[in-house]
Structure 1
Amino acid sequence: MNKKQFVMILGLVLVFEGARCQEHEVFVAYGSVAVLPCIDETSELSHPSSVYWSRLVENALKTVWRREKSGLEFRPVRDQPRANCPVPNFGKSDYSLHITETALEDGGKYICEVEGRIRMVKLINLRVVRASFSPAVVVEGLRTEAVCHVSPGTKSVKINWKQNGAKISRFSLSKVSQKDEGDWTCQVSYTGGAVESTTSLQVKGISTPPSDSSVVYAAVGSSVSLPCIFTDGLVPHTVSWSRPSTTSYSPLPLPASLNASAGPSASAAIQRVEEGDEGMYTCSGTVKGLNGESNKVQRRMELVVARVSRSSGSGPVTLTCHLSNSDQVTSYEWLRVNYGPNDTQTLTSVQKTVQKTLRIQKVDEEGAGEWVCRYYGKQGVLGNVTYELHLMGALKSGNLSSGNKTAMVMGLGFLFLVIFLVLFQMYRNYRRKKMIHLYPAMETIVHQAATEREQRERSRPKMAEACVGDPKPVSV
């Protein structure tokens, strides 16, 4: 309180002979209801009283609300009245002033004057607390600052900040990210209590995924979506996908089956995941800030590729679940896929452990088929990968049932029989040719006889024509 204000209040108090002057300080959050106390503690009976509420503005008193002993009430007519004294029966000892939807400009010094059985003057210092951001809507990567405004007063206060209910020490954000979005609360502590005011910070940019710690899991041969969704109302001018390398400055080539979308949802899809597609992927977009400046926002995510391998060689079959990055995996579960009527599937859990391998002692018709490796993290299921275990693969390992062994022996026996008959026929043909070459004179006689027979057959038509001759005409 400056000197002029003090002199004015002191002079006002001296006007009322025998009056009592009391000063209070009231803290209230912006937008809430402020209650300025003015209670006559000495009066237990109801007496006709006049109440005057005024406010000190630029060293001048302005009436806020007043009521005469007759019950006549006066309010300002310029603005919609937000201040009144809600006393059911005029003249009782509670003359507190209520101000609804308290604004920053409502802060300051108020004077309550009550003239009844005794004269009472009270000085109230209203201090409004408001939390805000400058700017309140910001594009990620830019700067904003949290402001806790407290109307000036006489007492010192302590200011703390909370984000989404948790206390924090920073209030200046030089590089905003999606994790900064939410409710920020300014807590003002003073002697006798504390007041909180909450405001919201809205961050424009990439909403999904919210940070660079996102991990996407996919099995080899399956399709997968890499999310990149911008906040509502923010349309990027350009969107690009890249695949940074951890060993060199040159980026890695993108998968051939990767297709990227355009617009607010710039997500990419890999139609078929192959081994070697694992690693980091970056989605980048150029957007305009609130001030018209261009800003580049991007999000990094990791693609983890999963596959199942089978042990080779004789003995039991071992299935192993491989992930390109298993840092977030806490346990593995192996399930057996069974098919019922109408191609219905049921999954039966066989093993759940921290080990990523499954040992199958004997692979028969029941053991062969589809096996699923399901891997878990702290937040639950991360993904699945399916492996088809064939019986032929089990045959190579020597784990055969008696029926399969019999079928294999019969098949091999039939194959050997066919090969034997072919070889036997080839041998007979070979012996026949060899026997003919043992008698060359006989072969010559047979060849000459065949030649002479062929010549006789050719000359027979000519001889028949010579014997018949030309036919002579016959006269009648």
Structure 2
Amino acid sequence: MFLEGFVTGMIFFLTPGGRCEEMEVIAEMGSKAVLPCRCGIKRCDPAAITWTKAGKGTVWRRQTSGLQYWGSNWVEGGTQRVRCPHSAFVHGDYGLQINSVKVEDGGVYSCRVVVGGHITGRQVMLRVIQGKKQNSQLTTFCQYQTKLARKLKMTTTDVFSLVSISPSSPMWGDSMSATCSVTPWPNGASVKWMVNNRPLWSQPRSTSNKPGSVVKERATEKVAGNWTCVFNHKKEARTTAVLSVRGIVQPPKDDTKVYAAVGSPMTLPCVFSPDLNPTSTVFEKTGVGKTLAFSRSLQTSSDASVPIQEVTSEDQGKYRCAGTVQGRRLARTMQLVVAKIIQSKKKGSVGLTCQLSDASEVTKYEWVHATYDLNGTKSDGPILKEQTIYPEHGGEWTCQYYGKEGFLGNVTTQVLTQLISSQSGQKPSNKGVVIGLSVLLVILLLILAQTYKNHQRRKRVFRYPAMETIVHTVSNEREEKEKSRVKA
């Protein structure tokens, strides 16, 4: 099967005459190719044009009178495979259009344009590849440097794939080959293969005078994905194709982690390629020898997954699914990671911790508080990015956990509003007790201070009894005088 890709045109540089003497065009077998050729002077029409191929003679020829001739090898069933669009002649464009390109069409073509006494020559290398035509474009270009300093000229053809895969859809464990071919293969060309953006070889391999680069591998999940052929010959051309390996497609590889929340339903995946009908399927928990029951409707299809109605903490661990396809035993292992939320109390606060049975692939946590209005409309509050939080509000709290490649799973819990309120209400009552005791202590200290002052005053007075008598007498006399004044 040929897969999609793209190829870019490759350029040879200019000679001192200011005209592009050579260039390369890459086209796919069965497609249309355009070999560029332009007149080297300002006024080119009428002109005599001759296209030839090295070793094959004339391909197409047109005289100044307008008569055209085709080589015998370029006519099939009365239809010419080559032509030069007359509408482009007025612009000095005498490009040769080849329809239904064949592998043997590859080679060196020469264009000769004669206008009066002026002769312009061009050479174009056509390289033919085997692939599937795609809906994209290949642009080949040649920079013309004439005395008039003409602008960049462009010639456009279709874009094609360089890569072919055999067999077209290999089974897991089969031998497969990938071919990157161009005809004719240029001397000194190098090819580097990339699989999922990683080099297949540590260094590019030089493959001179060979029809293509062939890679043979064993079809496994490691080679499934994007295959890129990097073809380098003076300029680089890349094409990427997708290789799918038939077998167990879900989980995509061994030891895949599957995440689920405690109390929620989930399905342990074991899905074969759609065209496969496995037999003797088995799903078991490794280490304990526990075999899981299949749904009868699933056993007769390519889906051998096992549903779990309600996940518990005991369900965590490693599982293995297997089935026989075309006499070959295929198996895949996976790990079920169970997530739950642990509630705790610390210093009068309620804590929520997002706990996973295996958090080795988790890179961050996010907590979301959901609230509902009277109409049942849900709204999310601010996101908290910690594994453990101490919420100030009750209700629905969801922990979402993420890995390097994005979202992994989530787990939800309900926090009682009364619990949050009671815990938060304890804080102001404790403060009130402390404040009350502090005020009482201050009052007691003031009373003690005043009592101490009175005691000290009495001690000073008792040292002089006569003084106390005099003071008492004077006080009595003053009171008597005031009474007498009132009576008078």
| Aligned twin of 1:186 | 229
TM-align CA RMSD: 4.4
Alpha-carbon separation, structure 1, partners of 2:312 and 2:291: 12
Q: CA deviation at 1:26?
A: 1.8
Q: CA deviation at 1:281?
A: 1.9
| Aligned twin of 1:284 | 322
Q: CA deviation at 1:226?
A: 1.8
Deviates more, 1:119-128 or 1:210-219: 119-128
Equivalent AA in structure 2 for residue 128 of structure 1: V
Q: Is 2:363 aligned against 1:321?
A: no
Equivalent AA in structure 1 for residue 168 of structure 2: A
| Aligned twin of 2:138 | none
Q: Is 2:112 aligned against 1:97?
A: no
Equivalent AA in structure 2 for residue 126 of structure 1: L
Give the direction of change, closer, same or farther, for the CA distance of 1:297–1:156 in structure 2 (3 Å limit): same
Say if 2:396 and 2:412, in contact at 8 Å, map to a contact too: no
Q: CA deviation at 1:327?
A: 1.9
Q: CA deviation at 1:324?
A: 0.6
Q: Is 2:111 aligned against 1:73?
A: no
Say if 2:190 and 2:231, in contact at 8 Å, map to a contact too: yes
SS at match of 2:184: coil
Alpha-carbon separation, structure 1, partners of 2:237 and 2:382: 58
SS at match of 1:88: helix
Alpha-carbon separation, structure 2, partners of 1:91 and 1:349: 70
Say if 2:285 and 2:292, in contact at 8 Å, map to a contact too: no
Say if 1:30 and 1:101, in contact at 8 Å, map to a contact too: no
Q: Is 2:298 aligned against 1:261?
A: yes
| Aligned twin of 1:136 | 168
Say if 1:331 and 1:352, in contact at 8 Å, map to a contact too: no
Q: Is 2:401 aligned against 1:375?
A: yes
Q: Is 2:209 aligned against 1:168?
A: no
Say how many residue pairs are matched.
357
Say if 1:320 and 1:358, in contact at 8 Å, map to a contact too: no
Say if 2:266 and 2:311, in contact at 8 Å, map to a contact too: yes
Q: CA deviation at 1:185?
A: 3.8
Among 294, 308, 325, the residue aligned to 1:270:
308
Q: Which protein has the larger Cα radius of gyration, Structure 1 or Structure 2? A: 1
Equivalent AA in structure 2 for residue 380 of structure 1: F
| Aligned twin of 1:467 | none
Say if 1:260 and 1:267, in contact at 8 Å, map to a contact too: no
Alpha-carbon separation, structure 1, partners of 2:188 and 2:284: 54
Give the direction of change, closer, same or farther, for the CA distance of 1:150–1:228 in structure 2 (3 Å limit): same
Q: Is 2:152 aligned against 1:126?
A: no
Q: CA deviation at 1:124?
A: 4.0
Identity of aligned residues (%): 34
Give the direction of change, closer, same or farther, for the CA distance of 1:86–1:133 in structure 2 (3 Å limit): same
Give the direction of change, closer, same or farther, for the CA distance of 1:260–1:310 in structure 2 (3 Å limit): farther
Alpha-carbon separation, structure 2, partners of 1:221 and 1:154: 64
Alpha-carbon separation, structure 2, partners of 1:77 and 1:178: 48
Alpha-carbon separation, structure 2, partners of 1:141 and 1:73: 57
Alpha-carbon separation, structure 1, partners of 2:193 and 2:294: 48
Q: CA deviation at 1:340?
A: 5.3
Alpha-carbon separation, structure 2, partners of 1:313 and 1:49: 95
Say if 1:28 and 1:195, in contact at 8 Å, map to a contact too: no
SS at match of 1:329: coil
Q: CA deviation at 1:271?
A: 1.0
- Cα offsets for 1:345-381 (capped at 9, x unmatched): 7466587243335478xxxxx85x6654443444136
Give the direction of change, closer, same or farther, for the CA distance of 1:199–1:376 in structure 2 (3 Å limit): closer
Equivalent AA in structure 2 for residue 271 of structure 1: Q
SS at match of 1:109: strand
Q: Which has the higher contact order (CA 8 A, sep 6+)?
A: 2
- Cα offsets for 1:406-438 (capped at 9, x unmatched): xxxxxxxxxxxxxxxxxxxxxxxxxxxxxxxxx
Q: CA deviation at 1:141?
A: 3.2
| Aligned twin of 2:413 | 386
- Cα offsets for 1:200-232 (capped at 9, x unmatched): 433323333333353222222221112233334
Q: Is 2:256 aligned against 1:214?
A: yes
Alpha-carbon separation, structure 2, partners of 1:256 and 1:231: 21
| Aligned twin of 2:269 | 227
Alpha-carbon separation, structure 1, partners of 2:48 and 2:249: 59
Say if 1:333 and 1:350, in contact at 8 Å, map to a contact too: no
Equivalent AA in structure 2 for residue 53 of structure 1: W
Say if 1:186 and 1:196, in contact at 8 Å, map to a contact too: yes
Equivalent AA in structure 1 for residue 401 of structure 2: Y
- Cα offsets for 1:445-471 (capped at 9, x unmatched): xxxxxxxxxxxxxxxxxxxxxxxxxxx
Alpha-carbon separation, structure 2, partners of 1:259 and 1:278: 24
Equivalent AA in structure 1 for residue 298 of structure 2: S
Equivalent AA in structure 2 for residue 277 of structure 1: D
SS at match of 2:76: coil
Equivalent AA in structure 2 for residue 221 of structure 1: G
Say if 2:224 and 2:242, in contact at 8 Å, map to a contact too: yes
| Aligned twin of 1:156 | 188
Deviates more, 1:198-207 or 1:141-150: 198-207
Q: CA deviation at 1:113?
A: 4.7
Say if 1:145 and 1:173, in contact at 8 Å, map to a contact too: yes
Alpha-carbon separation, structure 1, partners of 2:224 and 2:396: 45
Say if 2:49 and 2:113, in contact at 8 Å, map to a contact too: yes
Say if 2:164 and 2:179, in contact at 8 Å, map to a contact too: yes
Equivalent AA in structure 2 for residue 168 of structure 1: P
Give the direction of change, closer, same or farther, for the CA distance of 1:44–1:312 in structure 2 (3 Å limit): closer
SS at match of 2:244: strand
Say if 1:321 and 1:357, in contact at 8 Å, map to a contact too: no
Alpha-carbon separation, structure 2, partners of 1:392 and 1:54: 92
Give the direction of change, closer, same or farther, for the CA distance of 1:399–1:154 in structure 2 (3 Å limit): closer
SS at match of 2:264: coil
Say if 1:308 and 1:320, in contact at 8 Å, map to a contact too: yes
- Cα offsets for 1:135-176 (capped at 9, x unmatched): 232123333222111223664223234557x46344846233
What 5-or-longer segments of structure 1 have no aligned partner?
Answer: 1-21, 246-250, 289-293, 361-365, 403-476
| Aligned twin of 1:83 | 82
| Aligned twin of 1:145 | 177
- Cα offsets for 1:326-355 (capped at 9, x unmatched): 12333444555656547x374665872433
| Aligned twin of 1:106 | 105
What 5-or-longer segments of structure 2 have no aligned partner?
Answer: 1-19, 130-161, 202-213, 430-488
TM-score (norm 1): 0.60
Deviates more, 1:308-317 or 1:215-224: 308-317
